């Protein structure tokens, strides 16, 4: 048996068209992963998102999942993500980001100085 997921509200059907519903099965054995870093690369035909996890005080991280999308699907994903973040902030308040230095990743992944107890 599998769980099912349905994404948002489906688009309105055009006049004279019947609305079709798609059901997506989520296997029970699918493992969820936590990622706090993503690497994004692209070719003319696809965008590649590598999701990774970097733990505090560890100089190495691991890529846990790779998702490959067409540019069109990536843009639709970007729009859906922006809409969901806006909904989240309406419900729970603004998501605050740390002070941005020259590189946003440096704000999240500062390593303690040698000999420091931080």
Q: How confident is the model at residue 112 (pLDDT cuts 50, 70, 90)?
A: very low
pLDDT tens-digit map of 12-64 = 666 667 788 999 999 999 999 999 999 999 999 999 999 999 988 888 999 99
Residue 87 to residue 90: CA distance in whole angstroms = 5
pLDDT tens-digit map of 81-110 = 999 999 999 999 999 887 766 666 665 665
3-state SS track over 40-89? EEECCCCEEEEEEEECCCCCCEEEEEEEEECHHHHHHHHHHHHHHHHHHH
pLDDT tens-digit map of 2-23 = 455 545 555 566 666 778 899 9
The pTM of the whole model exceeds 0.85: no
């Amino acid at each position: 048996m599998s769980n099912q997921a349905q994404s948002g509200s489906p688009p309105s059907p055009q006049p004279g068209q019947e609305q079709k519903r798609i059901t997506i099965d989520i296997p029970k054995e699918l493992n969820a992963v936590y990622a706090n870093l993503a690497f994004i690369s692209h070719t003319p035909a696809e965008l590649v998102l590598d999701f990774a996890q970097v733990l505090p005080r560890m100089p190495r991280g691991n890529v846990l999942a790779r998702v490959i999308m067409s540019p069109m699907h990536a843009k639709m994903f970007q729009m859906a993500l922006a809409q969901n973040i806006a909904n989240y902030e309406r419900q729970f308040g603004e998501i605050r980001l740390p002070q941005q230095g020259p590189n946003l990743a440096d704000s999240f992944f500062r390593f303690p100085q040698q000999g420091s107890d931080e």
